Amino acid sequence: MDRSSPSNESPSPDFHFHRSSKKRRHWWVWAIILLAFGALFYWVIHQHMQSQQAVAGGGRGGRRNAMAGPVPVTYAAATKGSLGIYLNAIGTVTPVYTDTITAEVTGLVTAVHFREGQYVKKGDPLIDIDPRPYEAQLKEAQGALERDQNLLAEAQMDLKRYQDAWAKNAIPRQTLEDQEKVVLQDQGTVTNDEGTVQYDQVQVGFCHIASAIDGRVGLRLVDPGNVVTANSTTALAVVTQTSPITVIFTLPEDSLPQVLQQMRGGKALTVDAYDRNQQTELDTGKLLTVDNLIDTTTGTVKLRAQFANAKGLLFPNQFVNTRLLVKTLENLTLIPSSAIQHNGSNDFVYVIQNPSVKGKAVALMTNVKSGISDKGETAVTGINPGTVVANSSFQKLVDKSPVYQSNVALPSSEATEEEAP
């Protein structure tokens, strides 16, 4: 009988080797997994740092450039000055006077004295209408007046004789009183004739149309030989006053109190007129008045400003952009708006340390607070007037980047005794 059995046999050396090999394989697997997690963690941290550097104004490219050497930048010096608080609006150019000329008499146009677009003065002749029919009526009225004046004179002489006769009791009282009434009747007739003569003189005057204002005449609307009709709505010519000229614009009712406050103080508010693209200043004028009603449908109020328009750049019915100067702030620190960088809700600039010392200029990132802006300049707090800031190459700059000046010369006020050789 064989006493040996599988259950009583001890494990073979091959079995122990198999178990130890399996344990070693598990250890390497865990080691590889840990290394992978470590590499992933390092990559995430590295990417986060790179993103922070990019937000600060450099990024990996900026750091490489900083390490490569000084960055060429344009210098700009902070200055002390003033900026105005403006209210912007859209306005319409409106002439002070617009004279639409129509015919007051019926007749034949005999002459047109103006050229299209000509600048005319008050009293300059524009259009002539044939005056001969009206001159004939005037002559007839003058003849009737002369006849009735002589009749009145005759009645007055008779009255004087009757008065003398009555004083001697030579005539009855009724004869004297009748003659007195005859004189009064003749006086009324003469007065009526004088009115007729004056009316006919006015009609003759209407035949010679002159400009009532200084201004520019428009296109010719009637030619010699045309027949015009009295009291017609058809215009013969249009004259508009272009110098001075006004602009009507609207502001929200919420902006009205600060405008009225300045006007009550007797201050003349300045208004600038710009073209449609807000690039070219057309003219500068003064605020004349504010309308007496607020438009309830739009919540706005109308204002009128007057401009000298010496250059003729403002044209009637032209749309313009207006800037009403409400208040001027003094003693501000001003820098170019392009020098201000933004990081979310924070603003910062790169202050140039040692700007005049060759090889030692460094850009330091400095937080500022931006205020009002106008014409490319912005008021800031956080730096002082005279501080030199970078105004270019922001994609290459990081905090403490070495820099050197490019193109633009440093203001003389910023020069120091440590000039580079």
Whether 134 shows a pLDDT value over 70: the answer reads yes
Cβ 184 vs Cβ 152: under 8 Å: no
**What's the CATH code of the domain at 336?**
2.40.420.20
Residues 244-266 have a mean pLDDT of: 90
- For 42-54, how does the pLDDT look when each residue is reduced to its tens digit (9 = 90+)? 877 777 666 555 5
Whether 26 shows a pLDDT value over 80: the answer reads no
Q: What is the pLDDT of residue 331?
A: 85
Question: In the numeric block, which tokens belong to residue 301?
Answer: 């109020």
Final residue belonging to a domain, choices 239, 255, 277? 239
Tell how far CA 355 is from the center of its chain.
Answer: 40
- For 80-114, how does the pLDDT look when each residue is reduced to its tens digit (9 = 90+)? 888 888 899 999 999 999 999 999 999 999 999 99
Same domain for 318 and 337, yes or no, is no
Q: What is the pLDDT of residue 196?
A: 96
**What's the CATH code of the domain at 318?**
2.40.30.170
pLDDT over 70 for what percent of the chain?
85
Q: What is the pLDDT of residue 407?
A: 64
Cβ 289 vs Cβ 303: under 8 Å: yes
How many domains in the chain? Answer: 4
Spell 322-335 as b/e; 16+ CB within 10 A means b: bbbbbeeeeebbbb
Say if 397 falls within a structural domain: yes
- Domain holding 132, by residue range, is 100-239
Three-state secondary structure call for residue 321: strand
Smallest CA-to-CA distance from 285 within 306, 266, 315, 313 is with 306
Q: What is the mean pLDDT of the chain?
A: 84
Q: What is the pLDDT of residue 418?
A: 32
Which of residues 406 and 64 earns the better pLDDT score? Answer: 406
Q: What is the pLDDT of residue 22?
A: 53
Same domain for 250 and 183, yes or no, is no
Final residue belonging to a domain, choices 239, 259, 279? 239
- For 311-360, how does the pLDDT look when each residue is reduced to its tens digit (9 = 90+)? 999 999 999 999 999 888 888 889 999 889 988 888 899 998 888 777 78
Say if 2 falls within a structural domain: no
Question: pLDDT-derived band of residue 58, with 50, 70 and 90 as boundaries?
Answer: very low
Flag whether the pTM goes above 0.85. Answer: no
Question: pLDDT-derived band of residue 374, with 50, 70 and 90 as boundaries?
Answer: confident
- For 28-38, how does the pLDDT look when each residue is reduced to its tens digit (9 = 90+)? 777 788 788 77
Q: What is the pLDDT of residue 296?
A: 92
Residues 155-168 have a mean pLDDT of: 93
Same domain for 286 and 303, yes or no, is yes
- For 378-419, how does the pLDDT look when each residue is reduced to its tens digit (9 = 90+)? 888 888 898 899 988 888 888 888 888 886 544 433 333 333
Q: What is the pLDDT of residue 352?
A: 87
CA distance 210 to 213: 9
How far from 26 is each of 16, 38, 330, CA to CA, in Å? Answer: 16, 19, 77
Same domain for 209 and 104, yes or no, is yes
